[in-house]
Every structure is written in structure tokens, then in C-alpha cells.
Copies of this chain bind each other. A is one copy, B any other.
Amino acid sequence: MVTRTRFDDSDCPVARSVDAIGDWWSLLIVRDAFDGSRRFGEFQRSLGVAKNILTARLRTLVDGGVLASVPASDGSAYREYVLTPKGKALFPVIVALRQWGEQNFFAPGEPRSRLVDRRRGQPLRPLETLSEDGRRLDPDDTTVLKVPAP
């Protein structure tokens, strides 16, 4: 078979995360969920994605425990998609991608959506990778211990 390669049994947590999210659409769905989208139609309009793709991705995310399908909060008979705790734990991933994008793909002053602290209306601090004892770590200050081959 020529199915897409899976990483769900990899030794590397990064690979398993990547596998669980599934594709880029899924990550943008999660982003929209953080932005407040809940309904099928909201995601569809916001992303401009084909409905069959959206259907499939929502199902994958629900099956993966990132989103949950719950009865609509407005009392109607429709359903809504909300982040589970596992989904909310993706927040640093989204923030990291956002900050990387801001720094590298926008001219100064170019209009863009902004993520702000609700209380003060200020942008967030850049994420910092810290050691156990609080030193800032660059990539070169770290190393990966691989699992010994079986």
C-alpha cells in the first residue's frame, strides 16, 4: 500500500504529536478553536476549506481527543466542537508557531491578527526554553538522548 507514513509508534514525542494532529488543516482548526470558533460553519467560513475535508478533519480530531463534539450551547439541536484539555494543551504549540510567523513572514507594520493578553491587551512574551534551574537554553545547549535500538 501507498498510504501516508504514520509515526504513531515512533520513539520520538515530536513524531507522535505530528501524527496525532494529522495535517495542517487540523492545526488551523485548532487555532480557530482557540480563537473562539465552535460551529462547523464557523470553521468552514474562516478557513475556506472544503466541507468534506473539514468533516474528515473534525472527525480525526474528535477521535484523537483534541476536540469534543458537544450539544450546541445555544440550545439548538446542532453540535459544537470544543477543545478538550488535551486540545488546550496545544496552546504553546500555536503560540510558538505564531511568534515564529510574526518574526519571519511579516514586514514591520504589515497588518496581521494579534494574540493578546485579554486583561491588558498586550502581546505575549516570546516563549523561552529554560533548563530545570532556569537558564535560557539555545538549541546548541541541548542534546537528544535517543532510545537504544531494540
A122 CA to B145 CA, complexed, in Å: 11
A117–B139 CB distance below 8 A: no
Query: Interface code A99-134, partner B: CB below 8 Å = 1, 0 otherwise?
Result: 111111110000111111111101111011111111
Chain A residues 16 to 69 lying within 8 A of chain B, measured CB to CB, are: 16-20, 23-24, 27-28, 31, 34-36, 48-49, 65
Q: In which size bucket is the chain A interface?
A: 35 or more
Tell me if A1 counts as interface (CB < 8 A to partner B): no
Q: Which B residues touch A103, using CB under 8 A? A: 89
CB contact under 8 A between A98 and B17, given known A91-B138, A114-B144, A144-B34 = yes
Inter-subunit contact B147/A111 (CB<8 Å): yes
Measured in the bound complex, the distance between the Cα atoms of B28 and A19 in whole Å is 11
Copies of this chain held together in the complex: 2
Contact A13 B130, CB 8 Å, known A24-B23, A117-B141, A139-B91: no
Residues in A lying within 8 Å of B, measured CB to CB:
5, 7-8, 11-20, 23-24, 27-28, 31, 34-36, 48-49, 65, 83, 86, 88-106, 111-120, 122-125, 127-135, 137-147
Query: Could you name 26 residue pairs across A and B whose Cβ atoms are closer than 8 Å?
Result: A5-B49, A11-B113, A12-B101, A13-B101, A14-B28, A14-B94, A15-B101, A17-B97, A17-B98, A17-B101, A19-B24, A23-B24, A36-B143, A88-B138, A91-B139, A92-B128, A96-B96, A112-B147, A115-B145, A116-B142, A117-B141, A118-B142, A120-B133, A124-B131, A124-B132, A125-B131
